Amino acid sequence: MPMSNKRRSLCRVLVHYLAIGSAMIALLFIGFASTGLAADGFYPDMPGTWALTTDWKWLPEDIRTSPADTQAFTQKVKRFAELIHQTPLFSPPRGFQARANARFFEGAYACDDKHCPSKARQVEIDLLFYYFFDTGGKPSWGGEANTDATISINCLERTAGLDYQFGRLSLPDGRYILFAPAKTGELGGFPLYHEHLIITRSKRPYWIPVTREQYLQALIRTSQVEIVKSQKQIADAGDPYEKFLKEKGQRAQDYERIYQDAKKLYPDRAEALRAQLLLTEAAAEKGARQSSEMLAKIRQTEDPMQLRLANLQAELAAMSPGERASQAWFQRNADDLIMSDLVPAGQEKATALIAYNPDFFDPSLPPTAWQIMTVRFSWARHEHSATMKHVGFARLHQFAYDTDWSRAAPFLD
């Protein structure tokens, strides 16, 4: 939830003031030269190699299965990787080196001890297209340019990406509120949502709608948290000018020590440095005065977040039960008078809001069962990637559209 402009200004001034100190004395000017990769320096026909590595080191004790199950699961991952390897693009790779790494997904195990043992085991296979390019007239490899694909097994949070609402606006149970992805096609009979291909046999939805009431309640909770933070920030700010005066003596000693050192090391620049230190001190004093004045004004005015909170609560109170239960549709700044940016369902340029289905996984299946796979293609403007001169993007497009994804279905339980 964004804070008011006045409060943002206060933060910037206070941060600027508090950062004043010895770090401001030495000013470094660093120039950065932009680099790029020419589109015509590739070796699209040079044969590369394929390699697969696995990393099963990270796995909590409380969710480990028997050694036999772990071995069977590992072999299944390797068989699936071999299926990917059979795509004509890799026989052999041309213009790139294919590197696949299979690993357990560490972040997926954020659950309590009671439920972790039955949680579906989650794995990711990262597939990188390290392409060959020209280095001084000779082919070299190691370029990526985000030309990779990630195959996630049982990672429900990978199906829609991380397109969070309002900086990770969430439901009470911690699930994030997301924009519903638009279906853009099919591969192997499975739906493709821009860069996410979702493969599953389950009839359970992987996403479920977020209602208008859930969305408004999330906004209300976030507003209340922001108000408390803002109040604490102002209470803890103190008086910046008083703080400036209190530390003035220490700064003077620091300035004098730096000046004396400069006289010894750089006598021709010592006086110029001293003049700069005095200017720095004057600027710091001006900033501290301005911060104090701004803080005093803000303490005398009502927090605009309070008005926003009241409007959100009024918007929710005015809804009928049917409206509260209907799916939320969002369009930013659709109406300046509507704090939530909620609009009628299906409105042009609006987006439905969703969350992951907490009941997607079938608890009757063992943790090693494969219930859903997501393939994320890291491409920009993927509909044009096949015609781009960049060999990495072209090969990534080939991988997506030349792989027979229907053959992945037998791996699902």
Question: Taking phi first (over 0 means left), then psi (-120 to 50 degrees means alpha), and beta for anything else, what does residue 112 get?
Answer: beta
Residue 24, CB half-sphere, CA atoms under 13 Å: how many? Answer: 19
Show the tokens assigned to 180. Answer: 């519903």
Question: What's the pLDDT band for 408 if we cut at 50, 70, 90?
Answer: very high
d(CA 319, CA 206): 28
pLDDT for 12: 41
The pLDDT mean for the chain works out to 78
Question: What's the pLDDT band for 106 if we cut at 50, 70, 90?
Answer: low
- Helix orientation angle between 248-265 and 270-299, rounded to the nearest 10 degrees: 160
What pLDDT, in 10s, does the model give residues 366-387?
878 899 999 998 875 555 555 5
d(CA 105, CA 103): 6
d(CA 164, CA 177): 6
| Over residues 58-84, mean pLDDT | 73
Quick check: 323 and 212 in contact, CB under 8 A? yes
What pLDDT, in 10s, does the model give residues 327-371?
999 988 766 656 788 999 989 889 999 998 988 999 888 878 899
d(CA 366, CA 413): 10
What pLDDT, in 10s, does the model give residues 243-299?
888 898 998 998 899 989 988 998 898 899 989 989 998 998 898 888 888 877 766
Say whether the peptide bond before residue 92 is cis (omega within 30 degrees of 0).
yes
d(CA 340, CA 1): 11
pTM of structure: 0.70
**Is the per-residue pLDDT at 110 higher than 50?**
no
- Percent helix, strand, coil in the chain, to 5, is 45, 20, 40
- Helix orientation angle between 5-18 and 212-237, rounded to the nearest 10 degrees: 40
Residue 66 to residues 57, 62, 120, 246: CA-CA distances in angstroms? 15, 12, 15, 65
Amino acid identity for residue 345 in this structure:
A
